[in-house]
Amino acid sequence: MGGPPTEVVTTLDDREGWGEAFSAFHARFADRFTRRESREQVAKSLRGLLAPVERKNSWQVAEAVGDAT
C-alpha cells in the first residue's frame, strides 16, 4: 500500500493546467445559466466540491472557494 501523497495541494489551481481544463469543462454547460452570477456560482460550487477538503458540507465548500457566507 502506498503512503500519503508527497505533494500537498492546497487549492485546485495549484495543479498546473487544472484551471484551463476546469474552464473548458465549465464552458460545456455554462450557457444553461442565463445570469452571469449564476454561472459564476455554479463554477465556484463545482470547485468547492472538487477541493481537497476533509468534509463536503455547505460551509466548508463555501470556505474552500473563498466565500465569506
Q: Using one digit for the tens of pLDDT, what is the confidence trace for 10-65?
A: 455 555 677 888 888 889 999 999 999 999 988 988 888 888 888 888 888 888 88
Q: Are 56 and 49 in contact (CB under 8 A)?
A: yes
Decide: residue 33, CB within 10 A, 0-12 exposed, 13-18 middle, 19+ buried: middle
> Cell numbers 505533494 label which residue?
7
C-alpha cell at 9: 495541494
The domains of the chain are located at 34-69
The pTM score is 0.64
C-alpha cell at 42: 455554479
What phi, psi does 65 have (nearest 5°)? -100, 5
Percentage of the chain modeled with pLDDT above 90 = 14
Taking all residues of the chain, what is their mean pLDDT, rounded to a whole number?
78
